Amino acid sequence: MRFPPRATRIGAAAALLSALLVGGTVTATPAAAAVGSICYSDLPSQAYTTLNLIAQGGPYPYSQDGGVFQNRERILPSRSTGYYHEYTVKTPGSSTRGARRIVTGQAHEEDYYTADHYASFDLVDHDC
């Protein structure tokens, strides 16, 4: 199941307003702060190559591609082990895998892009 980033932000704003009105406290969850959205058309060109390889089932350029993503950072929604898988998005000029990845969930078009090695994620909006 995908949660639109806008709904998450509205929920966070409502919690803040409620806390201010009744004198409570506010705690932010990492997912609310770090999962945004990105239009498919705004992805770097190398991400299209990665998404096409995922759709085809490979072959992938790196042995780690297709491996289980553990979500240790707890930024993505909590799911059972094996729900998420990660794939490299090549970085031009980098001699290593670089920091860019696509992490897929099991839901249809549940693709997350990170350009900063899991510090933040954007859910790919395939409709724009």
- State the pLDDT confidence band at 30, using cuts at 50, 70 and 90: very low
Nearest to 2 by CA among 115, 79, 92: 79
- State the pLDDT confidence band at 61, using cuts at 50, 70 and 90: very high
Nearest to 122 by CA among 75, 81, 78: 75
Residue 127 confidence (pLDDT) above 90:
yes
Pick the more confident residue, 8 or 121. Answer: 121
Percent of the chain at pLDDT exceeding 90: 71
Q: Which residues are catalytic?
A: 86, 117
On whether the CB atoms of residues 103 and 84 are closer than 8 A, the answer is yes
Domains belonging to the chain, first-starting first, are 36-125 (3.10.450.30)
Pick the more confident residue, 91 or 3. Answer: 91
